[in-house]
Copies of this chain bind each other. A is one copy, B any other.
């Protein structure tokens, strides 16, 4: 799979509305010629980037976030959306989602406070990290948070002591086959332990509310939810026989963001998941939650970087090295292991005509003196042969897991700037 390369034309951007053609609600393409199609850039992003802001920067179009939310609630009717704040906690993103009625899945006390500051009711916030300090649980409880995740005996004890009477859900470990960014065994526990711990939760005076799972980030196979749901349904039955009635399934995240810039379509996922639930719970659906992060913000961002250097290590080296001012330590952390392959667009130089330059293979790397600060080597990216320092690249679909990952000052470089449009 060769990543897409596109040449954009800054001279079009002075009036982007005239030069772009809509291929969907906000997924726009430069349409002068088919070769130059660069889907994924919105009119607002194009207009902002026309001013050549200082690089590196991420430009988030919050309208896209809103559209993703609406598309998801259409695809999953009756399912409560808890946006995973960690994916992108920028205030305008949270504001837009709060306004649309989203709930929020949080990983820490500062994330909880970000939501509360916007006026989100505590009942719409879950403390979804299974790893919490006792004092942070207490502080969340004091703020009115009443829904907590856990996956271990010690965490359950901490919640019982510091947030008595709260609703809790236990995270079940499931395999992540088919996920582009599979999760490790870091989260979740066995079915046997889920059962044991939910009985214990009940005994400790907590409300044994339900079960969560996560099929892996960027899960491209809708059938992966089937396996997990069957195990959840078995646990519901088993716990009922233990005298513990569960009421909720947290479907986790995993819905893929559109890294290949095709239209997002959550419908097939939604139909399959809800169909499976209806088959497994013939007496009626339990309360259903979903925790999208990447799905909600991934395609809402574009990261613009400047080429700092193009070099060959030897006169006859086939691959060029292309160093840009955004790397693994200031925005592109998820290129680790070349797992997430962002589409890369080349911004052509003003006044240099429309010809698509001939391309050749490159290794893309970040600007630091750190040898692991390499973005793509094996992924097979190709960039124009006439690329040179000062040119600008756009990493598309970089709205999730970019800004907050950036290092405070590694090698002296400032963290990446984020702009919401």
Contact = CB atoms under 8 A, between A and B. Distances in A.
A389 interface: yes
Name the residue in A153, A308, A312 with the highest tally of chain B Cβ atoms < 10 Å from its Cβ.
Answer: A308
Contact of A410 (B86, B153, B187): B86
A28 B132 CA distance: 34
B129 A369 contact: yes
A171 to B, nearest CB: 10
Contact of A190 (B132, B158, B313, B412): B313
Given A133-B308, A186-B371, A193-B314, A407 B408 contact: yes
B407 A311 contact: no
B411 A408 contact: no
A186 B362 CA distance: 12
Contacts of A181: 371
Which of the listed residues A86, A109, A158, A311 has the most CB atoms from chain B within 10 Å of its own CB? A311
Given A133-B308, A415-B408, A192 B315 contact: yes
A329 interface: yes
Interface string A104-146: 0011111100100000000000001111111000000000000
25 contacts: A84-B369, A107-B368, A107-B412, A108-B413, A110-B413, A128-B369, A129-B411, A151-B311, A152-B310, A153-B311, A158-B309, A158-B389, A183-B371, A184-B372, A185-B313, A186-B365, A186-B374, A189-B313, A193-B315, A333-B407, A404-B410, A405-B407, A405-B410, A406-B407, A408-B415
Given A84-B369, A186-B374, 4 more contacts: A85-B412, A185-B313, A189-B314, A192-B315
A321 interface: yes
Given A152-B309, A411-B111, A413-B108, A321 B405 contact: no
A402 to B, nearest CB: 11
A130 B367 CA distance: 9
Contacts of A61: none
B412 A109 contact: yes
Contacts of A301: none
A196 interface: yes
A100 interface: no
Q: How large is the interface on A (under 10, 10 to 19, 20 to 34, 35 or more residues)?
A: 35 or more
Interface string A150-170: 011111001000000000000
Interface in A360-376: 365, 367-374
Contact of A408 (B308, B314, B406): B406
| 10 nearest CB pairs, A to B | A152-B311, A108-B412, A183-B371, A110-B412, A111-B412, A107-B411, A190-B314, A184-B371, A131-B323, A404-B410
A173 B108 CA distance: 44
B133 A389 contact: yes
A122 B114 CA distance: 44
Nearest to A109: B412
Contact of A321 (B106, B186, B325): B186
Interface in A302-350: 306, 308-315, 321, 323, 325, 329, 333, 336
Contacts of A336: 336, 372
B369 A107 contact: yes
A131 B308 contact: yes
Residue from A189, A370, A388 with most neighbouring chain B CB atoms (10 Å): A370
